[in-house]
Structure 1
Amino acid sequence: MEHEVKHDQDDLRFYMEIGDEEAELTYSYTDENAMDFDHTFVPESARGQGIAHKLVRCGLDFARENDCKAIASCPAVEAFVKRHPEYNDIMLWP
């Protein structure tokens, strides 16, 4: 089952509709022109299918395309970046 990632720039989130539920990656902007990815949620029924991975990749790709740095406040985003060092160039680490 293939789900499309959507970006709601007004609500500051990337999300996917999964049946009558939603998976999401939320973020905020900092004063340093960075996107702070702060929360990832995947419904229990859809876990283990790579959905969080897809959301995080879309969020980080959006940050890169828009010349933003990224902050991994969410543990899922931090774990993703540690497994995908190609995103280290846009990360702001504490």
Structure 2
Amino acid sequence: MARYILSQKCVFRFIQGYNSSQRFTQNHVCAFTNDSIPHVIHDRQNQRFTVACDSEDKSVLKYTSRGDGQVELISTEVPESHRGKGVAAHLAKAALDFVIEEDLKARISCWYIRKYVDENPHLGYQAYIKD
């Protein structure tokens, strides 16, 4: 299970079984400050991760569980008013951390999640991706 420690400029990710922490700056995580990091909610029943952007809009990452130890990460949707602020990165990170914590394999149908994995090899998600 991963746990996170926030400092002023960095997020540290500690993963069970690793000898050291992974450190990445806010630029690798998102454009949010520590005070405004969005709260990602995992709705297992509806197979999605959400972030409330404001009173009406939500950002959503949808997935399907295949039942054979695999999930398919289908799509990421962020309201236009919140694009470019790192919300999709938080959703992708939460979904990929879920894959790791549950020891699953992920198929990626969403272009954004594929881009996130490819641009962040230091986070170790590649080992959990099934092409």
| TM norm structure 1 | 0.94
What is the CA deviation profile of residues 4-63 of structure 1, one whole-angstrom value per residue up to 9, with x for unaligned ones?
000000000000001110001000012431110001000000000000001000000001
Structure 2: distance between partners of 1:36 and 1:87: 14
Structure 1: distance between partners of 2:90 and 2:108: 15
Secondary structure in 2 aligned to 1:3?
Answer: coil
Is the aligned partner of 1:69 residue 2:105? yes
Structure 1: distance between partners of 2:129 and 2:68: 12
2:83 to 37, 42, 47: 47
Is the aligned partner of 1:11 residue 2:34? no
| TM norm structure 2 | 0.68
Greater relative CO, 1 or 2 (CA 8 Å, sep 6+):
1
RMSD of equivalent CA atoms: 1.0
Identify unmatched segments of 5+ residues in structure 1. none
Identify unmatched segments of 5+ residues in structure 2. 1-35
Structure 2: distance between partners of 1:3 and 1:69: 26
Identity among equivalent positions (%) equals 31
2:128 to 82, 90, 93: 90
Q: Which has the larger share of helix?
A: 1
Name the aligned partner's letter for residue 38 of structure 2.
H
Secondary structure in 1 aligned to 2:125?
Answer: helix
Q: Which has the larger radius of gyration?
A: 2
Is the aligned partner of 1:27 residue 2:43? no
